[in-house]
Amino acid sequence: MFDPDVDESSSFHEDMIKIQDRLPTEDEYRRVRHLSLQRPSDPPINDDQLAKALRACPHLESVILSGVLDTTDRTVVLLAQLAINLQGINLTGCDQVTDIGILELTTKSLPLQWIQLNGVTGITDPSVSAIAKTCSRLVELELCDLPLLTPVAVRDIWSFSRKLRTLRLANCPFLTDKAFPSTSGPELDDESGREKPLPPRPITWLDRLPPLILRHTADNLRVLDLTSCKITDDAVEGIVTHAPKIQTLILSGCSQLTDRALESICKLGEHLDVLMLAHVANITDRAVVKLARSCWNLRCVDVAFCRNLTDMSIFEFAALKGLRRLSLVRVHKLTDIAIFSLAEHATSLERLHLSYCDRLSLDAVHLLLRKLKQLQHLTATGVPSFRRKGIHRFSDDPPETYNNDQQAAFRVFSGDNVDRLRKFLDKEDQRRRDAEAKNIPFVARSDDKLDLY
């Protein structure tokens, strides 16, 4: 019987459900709004079972299929045809999906707002270009680990996806400067009559692409991941000019970058709060000092394997009031003075990575532990002073895949173990002072007892 006091649309939406890591049952088919198959199930869900379930779920708005790795184009095509309200799809790792399925998604005028295609190795430029040109509501696009993606399709993303807030392009080996906005036009002919130098290598069709000159700016872009892309300082300059409000910039593994790239990044100013520069080995203190003083809202910095950096850079990072996470793995020139600076000034630090910084003493790290009350995670793998007996008791367990040498060197302290390590070092320090007061030789021990004998 019809009840005029009941809002049917309201009750319909309240009745909708989310299914996690399993297929919906028959009585749930028409109520499923979000289907998340993120983890492999036992027994595993196969493509036939998935296709059968999707045929009966017309109200899906988001679908995560990264836990069903044998998902095929047939299933993606079915989804595109039936889920007319689809706003997001995650096909990460589904390497049997090809352009056929993705192109079908783009032809149905779906209200897609986020698409994740990481590791879908068969994806090529036509699919990505179609996404950029047809998905006008798109705010998040992840295209990591795509070996066939070239600058041609990425140029379309910059040209057409005006609402993007997140763009991830990590580990795409063909992406070079040609994929990104440029601040300079085509090279002018040399009017002086001098001969132009020969190109350093044979010109390919990608090299012949003109610079990407855009008349708009990507004011909405906040997250950009270019891990291990073959870009130079010119690309970074063009990106920062075109997307001036980036908050998270990941350039780890972009080994061709130099100080000039950091000088461009300085233009992001207060907007930038996460910067990842691991393995960008050519940067120096000069550019890092300028960066830290320009981007004062940085809260997460990774300069692991940046071999030219010294204590000077760490002094500047320590002065950042909001710094929460700092990675200094294999910054070999680091000394105790840098650790003292962090202890005195980086009072908000929660995670610190010092692995393979072999000049650091245990006393310096002890002071750090006493000063930084919010520290929740400390890595000191491969630091010689941490081989001192007793320390390993407070370390997390090493991964089973590590060999004997790696397990012996493993020193990672997290959660309560950070506090336990500090208390252990406090007691050792007290025993040392007591020994000095009584003129007794001090001997380091692995237990927590305060007695000298």
Domains along the chain?
10-156 (3.80.10.10), 176-183+214-297 (3.80.10.10), 310-453 (3.80.10)
Instruction: For residue 446, name the pLDDT band (cuts at 50, 70, 90).
Output: confident
Interval 331-339 mean pLDDT: 97
Is the distance from CB of 408 to CB of 389 less than 8 angstroms? no
Encoded tokens for 335 = 């000394």
User: Tokens 């397990």, residue?
Assistant: 407
Interval 194-210 mean pLDDT: 69
Instruction: For residue 201, name the pLDDT band (cuts at 50, 70, 90).
Output: low
pLDDT of 2 reads 41
pLDDT top residue among 408 and 205: 408
User: Tokens 């061709």, residue?
Assistant: 256
pTM for the predicted model, two decimal places: 0.90
pLDDT digits (tens, 9 = 90+) for 127-181: 999 999 999 999 999 999 999 999 999 999 999 999 999 999 999 999 999 999 9
Q: How far is CA 25 from CA 19, 30, 74, in A?
A: 10, 10, 21
Q: How far is CA 311 from the centre of its chain?
A: 26
pLDDT of 9 reads 42
pLDDT of 249 reads 98
Written as one letter, the residue type at 193 is: G
Spatial separation of the C-alpha atoms in residues 171 and 151, rounded to whole Å? 13
Q: Is the pLDDT of residue 342 over 80?
A: yes
pLDDT of 118 reads 98
Instruction: For residue 206, name the pLDDT band (cuts at 50, 70, 90).
Output: confident
